[in-house]
A and B are shown apart, each in its own frame.
Chain A
Amino acid sequence: MWQLAVIAVVCGAVTAIGAQTAVNLRARGVATGFGYLRRSAGFEIAPGLVPFSSSDSNARALAAGIVNTARLSALGILTAAALGVTIGIARLSSIPTVAMLARAYVDVVRNVPVLLQILCWAAVLQRLPDAGLPWHPAPGVALTNRELSFLWGRVIVSPEFAALFAALSIYTAAFIAENVRGGIAAVPRGQQEAALALGLSRLAALRTVVLPQALPVIMPPTISQFVSVIKNSSLATAIGYFDLMSITNTTINQTGQAVEAMALAALFYLTASLAVAASTRALFGARHGI
C-alpha cells in the first residue's frame, strides 16, 4: 500500500545518503565515531564557568559550550519573561504615557532582526574605555570594553555575553509583551468589571481574576518564545562568544567530524527545547473550570 511505498522511499533515501557520506568521509581521511571527544581540543576558549585550556578534551569543550548556552538561555528567559509581563501590562494601562511608551517599545524592537540588535549592542559596548580606565556609571560598577564588572567585582561578564543577554532579553520581551497583552485582552471585560464591582482594587482584580484566566491564552506562544531564546543563543557565533554552536563549529574545523558534532549539538537543542516546554507547561498548566 501507499504507506509501505513511503516508508521504503524514505528508508532508501536515508540509506543512500548514509552510504555516500561514509564514502566521502573515508575519502577525506576523516574518522568516524565519538572517539574524538576524548582527544585534546587544541583550541582556546575564553574564560567562563568551566575552566578550560587547549589541552583539555573535546568533550570538555563541548561541556563548556553547553554550560555557556544554558547560562545565557536561562538568564535570557527569566529576564525576557519579567520584562515582557511588565510591558504587556503597561500596554493596557489607562495612563496614556505609559501605554504609549510600552507600545513604542514593542513596535520598534519587534521590527529589527535580533542579530542586528546583538551586533549593535556589541558595537556600543566596544566603545567603552580600554582596560586601564574603567567607566563607573554607578557605585560598584566598572565597565571596560574587555570586561563588565558589577557589584564590586562579584559579578563579571564579558562584553559578548552582555551584548547577547541584552539583545535576547529585550527582543524576546517585546514578543512576550504582545502575548500577555493579547491574553489579558481575551478575558471578557465583564470579568474585570465584576471584580471591581465587588470592591477589589485594579491590581487585585488583575491578579485574582484576570491573569488566571489570561494564562492559558498567554502560555503556548510564550513557551514558543522561551524556546526561541535557546535557539537564538546560537547567534553567539556571530560575535565570538563560546556557546555550544560556536564550539561545535570550531570542533568541526579541527577534527572534520561534522556529522557527530552536529548530531550532538542538535540533540542538545532539541532536548533543551522539550525540557523548557514541558517544565513551563507543568508550572503554568491550564487551570480547571476554563
Chain B
Amino acid sequence: MTPVDLEVEMRGVNKWYGRFHALRDITLDVRRGERIAICGPSGSGKSTLIRCLNGLEPHQSGTIRVAGHVVDEHPRRIQAARREIGIVFQHLHLFPHLTTLENCTLAPIRVRRLSPIDAEALAWHFLDRLNVADQARKYPAALSGGQQQRVALARALAMSPKVLVLDEPTSALDPGTTEDVLAMLRSLASEGRTVICVTHDRTFARNLADRIVMMDAGTMAESNLAMASSDR
C-alpha cells in the first residue's frame, strides 16, 4: 500500500483516561474506499478510538492521520481533519432548534464557506437520496427514529467527507430499517468513500465490511474475513 492510498493511518496510538489505559498501541491502516467494521464488547475502546480519530479526545502517544491531515493538538489541524471525517454518533445529536434542512446546511455554510444556495442544493441531494426530503422543513423532534438517523447521515454527508464513521448505527433500529441502512451504506461506499463502522452487530458487520477489526480491552486484532457475499 502506497502512503497515498491510505485514508486513515493510526500508528502506535495510546490513550489513558487518568490511570485507565483505554487504547493500547493501536495500529490501523484503512485504504481509500475500504469498508471496515470495528467490533468488540462494550468497554473495549471502540468508541474511544473514533473519538480520538477526529480529535474529540486527545491521545497521549502515537500518530493519527486522516486524509493526509495529522490529528494532534493543534486546533487548526484538528479542524482540517474534521472537515474530512463525517461522523454519525450513536445518539445522533441532531440540533433540535434547527430544521432538518438547516441541520444539513449549517456546517457547509460555515465551514466549507458554501453559499446558502449551494449548501441547500447539496443538502437536498442527500436528503433526497436518503428518502427524507419530505421532512426537510420539520424539526428533529417530529421525526421517527429511522428518519432521524437518515438525517444525521445526510448531515454528515453534506460536508462531502472522505471518511464516513458510524458509531453503532443499528443499535436503536428494527431489523427492517437495518436492512435499509445497510443498503444505503453499501451504495455510499461503492462511490469511493471510506467507511468505518463501529458495531456490536456481527451480522451487520459481515454484510457491510471488507474487513473486520476486533477490539478487546483497548487492544486491536485483525480478522480478515473474505466477503463471499454475493450482494456486493
Shortest CB–CB separation between residue A285 and chain B, in angstroms? 13
Given contacts A190-B93, A191-B95, A193-B89, contact A199 B106 (CB under 8 A): no
Q: Is B62 an interface position by the 8 A CB rule?
A: no
Considering the complex, give the chain A residue whose CB is closest to the CB of B54: A197
- Fill in one digit per residue for A206-217: 1 if any B CB lies within 8 Å of its CB, else 0: 001100110000
8 Å CB contact of A204 from B98, B110, B141: B110
Query: Among the interface residues A197, A198, A287, which one has the most CB atoms of the partner chain B within 10 A?
Result: A198
Residues of B within 8 A of A287 (CB): 97
In the complex, what residues of A have CB within 8 A of residue B140's CB? Answer: 289
Q: Report B53-64 CB contacts with A as 1/0, cut-off 8 Å.
A: 010100000000
- Complex CA distance for A287 and B102, rounded to whole angstroms: 14
Kindly list chain B residues whose C-beta atoms are within 8 Å of the C-beta of A199. Answer: 79, 82-83, 107, 111-112, 159
CA A202 – CA B141 in complex, angstroms?
Answer: 25
Q: Is the interface of A mostly helix, strand, loop or mixed?
A: helix
CA distance A171 to B75 in the complex (A): 35
Chain A nearest CB, measured from B93 CB (Å): 4
B107 contacts A290, C-beta separation under 8 Å: no
Within 8 A of A (CB), among B122-143: 139-141
User: Do A198 and B159 touch (CB < 8 A)?
Assistant: yes
**Among candidates A188, A198, A212, residue contacting B82 with C-beta atoms closer than 8 Å:** A198
Q: For the complex, what is the distance from the CA of A209 to the CA of B107, rounded to whole Å? A: 11
Decide if B97 touches A212 in the complex (CB within 8 Å). yes
Q: Is the CB of B97 within 8 A of A290?
A: yes
- Complexed CA–CA distance, A289 and B87 (Å): 23
Q: Report whether A198 and B111 are in contact in the complex, using a CB–CB cutoff of 8 Å.
A: yes
Give per-residue flags for A274-290: 1 if the beta carbon is below 8 A from chain B beta carbons, else 0. 00000000000001111
- B83, A289: Cβ atoms under 8 Å? no
Kindly state whether residue B155 has any CB partner on chain A within 8 Å: yes
Within 83-103 of B, Cβ neighbours of A (below 8 Å) are at 83, 85, 87, 89, 91, 93-99
A191 touches B93 (CB 8 A): yes
Query: Across the interface, do A193 and B56 meet the contact criterion of CB distance under 8 Å?
Result: yes
| Contact in complex: B97, A289 (CB < 8 Å) | yes
Closest CB of chain B to A197's CB: distance in Å? 5
The chain A residue with its CB closest to the CB of B111 is A199
In the complex, are the beta carbons of B98 and A289 less than 8 A apart? yes
Report the bound CA distance from A243 to B128 in whole Å.
Answer: 63
Cβ–Cβ contact B89 & A194, under 8 A:
yes
Mark each residue of chain A from 184 to 205: 1 if its CB lies under 8 Å from any CB of chain B, else 0: 0000101101111111111010
The CA-CA distance from A209 to B95 in the complex, in Å, is 7
State the Cβ distance, A187 to closest chain B Cβ, in Å: 10
Instruction: Provide the bound-state CA to CA distance between A209 and B111, in Å.
Output: 14
Bound: A158/B107 CA distance, A:
50
Known contacts A193-B89, A196-B82; decide if A213 and B111 are in contact (CB<8 Å): no
Query: What 5 additional pairs, Cβ within 8 angstroms, besides A190-B91, A196-B56, A197-B82?
Result: A191-B93, A195-B107, A198-B106, A212-B97, A289-B96
- Using a CB–CB cutoff of 8 Å, the interface residues on chain B facing chain A are 54, 56, 75, 79, 82-83, 85, 87, 89, 91, 93-99, 106-107, 110-112, 139-141, 155-156, 159
Q: Can you report 25 A-B residue pairs in the complex whose CB atoms are below 8 A from each other?
A: A190-B91, A193-B56, A194-B87, A194-B93, A194-B95, A197-B85, A198-B156, A198-B159, A199-B83, A199-B111, A199-B112, A199-B159, A200-B107, A201-B75, A204-B110, A204-B111, A208-B106, A209-B106, A212-B97, A213-B95, A213-B96, A287-B97, A289-B98, A289-B139, A290-B96
